[in-house]
Structure 1
């Protein structure tokens, strides 16, 4: 309850500060939605030249992208730590965080919370709903529960990977360039993994499991295209717990290694 109350206080402060500059708030929302819209346009252009992509139809691929948007929006809201190294290590703000009686990662996440990113999740659910009706899929009560569990699992995968990458700043003050690279790699998870060669497919499934934030969990709700993918869908929350545990462990070890910003 203490941590929940702490989150509410941070949210209140966020609303107070952002409503002072309301135009900036809506510009940020619009820019995020525009970026997602451009990705959808790219998919539509691809299907102007081919009726199927790895055996998947246009509606199915767009459905997968819609699912991909949901956990990504939640992740971007609560794990907005792209500039962690520069702000907290180089500029020394981590010293302030460590003087407070709450877990350091939790504080950093709340200080950088970005609720406008949730609009992307809402749009993703709308995209899924439209494709769901277009494909004539049956909706069962259990599907809603499974959807929530799969989204949470995907968010934890995102969170674990980027927490681990941010924690590398405890070991090196210099920018590594890994985060932009990882951002590009994650986009491969929104397409059918069978269009890639075996090596890339293995990497996206087991080493950098971005396939578990898009194509694999989304396949649970579609007509099975590949038995392997359908069977892996329910492993998404398990993979999320594993990846986030690894990321949190790397973070905690990094905090213990941290010696402050003093010269």
Structure 2
């Protein structure tokens, strides 16, 4: 109840701030949607020059992109920690965080909530529904349950990877710039993995498992089981638990190593 009430208070403060600067809120929403629209247009342009992409049709790739947007939007809402190094390490705000009783990472996440990113998830759901009808897929109640399970697993994968990378700030005195690079790599998960060579495919599946936030779980609904993709989708929650566990371990170890703004 303590952590829930804390989240409610932070959300109230966020709403009060955005009610004061309403234009900024809608500009942020619009810019995020435009960014997603550009990515979708790119896919559509590609299919103007080829009927399939690695054996996947336009509707299937658009469906994968729609699924990819759902966990991506949720992750961006609750893990908006791109400026962690500058704000909390360089400027010393981590000292303030560590003087409070709540779990330090939880506080950092609440201070950087970005609810407008949820609009991207809603758009992703709309794209999935439209593609679902276009592909003439049969809907079962279990599909809704699996959608929730896969989304949670994908968000955990995102959270684990980027928490690990953010924790590098505890070990390095200078911002690394690796987060933007990794964010760009994550976008590879919205395309069929079989279009990449074996090295990249292995990396996206097992080393940096961004394929589990897009194409692999989406293949479950599409019934695409080449190289076992559809079966592999069932391991998305397990992969999420493993990756998030690694991320929290690295973060907690980094916090123990932290010695204050003057170190």
Please indicate, yes or no, whether the TM-score normalized by the shorter chain is above 0.5.
yes
How many angstroms apart in 1 are the aligned matches of 2:122 and 2:221? 18
Correspondences of 1:70-81 after superposition (within 5 Å): 70-81=70-81
Tell whether the 8 Å contact from 1:154 to 1:236 is kept in structure 2 after alignment: yes
Tell whether the 8 Å contact from 1:56 to 1:225 is kept in structure 2 after alignment: no
How many angstroms apart in 1 are the aligned matches of 2:7 and 2:85? 23
Correspondences of 1:15-30 after superposition (within 5 Å): 15-30=15-30
**3-state secondary structure, aligned to 1:260:** coil
How many angstroms apart in 1 are the aligned matches of 2:142 and 2:261? 50
Cα deviations across residues 23-81 of structure 1 (Å, max 9, x unaligned)? 00000000000000000000000000000001000000000000000000000000000
**1:223 Cα shift?**
2.6
Asked if 1:101 is matched to 2:101, the reply is yes
Tell whether the 8 Å contact from 2:225 to 2:231 is kept in structure 1 after alignment: no
Match of 2:192 in 1: 192
Correspondences of 1:177-256 after superposition (within 5 Å): 177-256=177-256
How many angstroms apart in 2 are the aligned matches of 1:115 and 1:31? 14
Greater Cα shift, 181-190 or 223-232:
223-232
**1:5 Cα shift?**
1.2
Q: Which runs of 5+ in 1 are unaligned?
A: none
How many angstroms apart in 2 are the aligned matches of 1:133 and 1:54? 22
**3-state secondary structure, aligned to 2:49:** coil
Cα deviations across residues 182-233 of structure 1 (Å, max 9, x unaligned)? 0111010000000000000000000000000000000010032514111110
How many angstroms apart in 2 are the aligned matches of 1:225 and 1:30? 37
User: Runs in 1 of length 4+ with deviation above 3 angstroms?
Assistant: none
**3-state secondary structure, aligned to 2:11:** helix
TM-score, normalised to structure 2, is: 0.99
Tell whether the 8 Å contact from 1:55 to 1:225 is kept in structure 2 after alignment: no
The CA RMSD over aligned residues, in Å, is 0.8
Match of 2:61 in 1: 61
Tell whether the 8 Å contact from 1:84 to 1:166 is kept in structure 2 after alignment: yes
Greater Cα shift, 3-12 or 124-133:
3-12
